[in-house]
């Protein structure tokens, strides 16, 4: 399935929430992902997935990415990393620059690649971990 989306067109977000990961912009960049990162509560998901403390686990993954200049892992692991990195930079109060920004774009690319490659059953497993949407206020 081929779906043409652009990062400045937010219609891709509901499609991704429905498990249609081909709707992710290609390339998927760091700036595209604040809302996407928070489809999950990475702190809860990391525990449910058996990764343990997200703070510890994600920092180890970020150190490895710094050394190898690439990210690896399952779609869920990469999504947890994306969640944590967004939390990290929100805490810093500034946007990533230089090598950090490059690595975060690489994280987004790796996540997109893993999500698009998932079989239907695995997509359902990930989407069931999404935080439910709040109903619109009248």
Residue 133 pLDDT class (50, 70, 90 cuts): confident
Write out the two tokens for 131.
């935080």
Residue 3 pLDDT class (50, 70, 90 cuts): very low
At residue 10, the pLDDT reads 79
Question: Taking 50 as the threshold, does the pLDDT of residue 2 lie above it?
Answer: no
Specify whether the CB–CB gap between 49 and 57 falls below 8 A: no
- Per-residue pLDDT reduced to its tens digit, 15-61: 999 999 999 999 999 999 999 999 999 999 999 999 999 999 999 99
Residue with tokens 């200049």: 69
Domain definitions of the chain by residue range: 12-127
- Per-residue pLDDT reduced to its tens digit, 65-74: 999 999 999 9
- Per-residue pLDDT reduced to its tens digit, 57-112: 999 999 999 999 999 999 999 999 999 999 999 998 899 999 999 999 999 999 99
Pick from 20, 21, 25: nearest CA to 9:
25
31-46 burial code (b ≥16 CB/10 A, e <16): ebbeebbebbbbbebb
At residue 9, the pLDDT reads 72
Pick from 123, 130, 25, 13: nearest CA to 74:
123
Q: Write down the H helix ranges in the chain.
A: 12-17, 34-37, 42-48, 54-68, 75-92, 98-116, 120-127
- Per-residue pLDDT reduced to its tens digit, 47-60: 999 999 999 999 99
């Amino acid at each position: 399935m081929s779906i043409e989306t652009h990062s400045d067109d937010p219609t891709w977000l509901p499609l991704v929430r429905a498990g249609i990961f081909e709707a992710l912009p290609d390339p998927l960049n760091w700036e595209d992902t604040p809302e996407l990162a928070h489809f999950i509560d990475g702190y809860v998901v990391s525990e449910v997935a058996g990764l343990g403390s997200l703070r510890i686990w994600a920092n180890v993954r970020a150190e490895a990415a710094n050394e190898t200049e690439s990210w690896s892992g399952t779609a869920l692991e990469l999504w947890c990393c994306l969640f944590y990195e967004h939390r990290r930079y929100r805490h810093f109060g500034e946007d990533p620059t230089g090598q950090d920004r490059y690595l975060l774009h690489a994280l987004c690319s790796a996540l997109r690649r893993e999500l698009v490659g998932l079989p239907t059953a695995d997509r359902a497993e990930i989407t069931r971990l999404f935080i439910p949407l709040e109903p619109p206020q009248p």
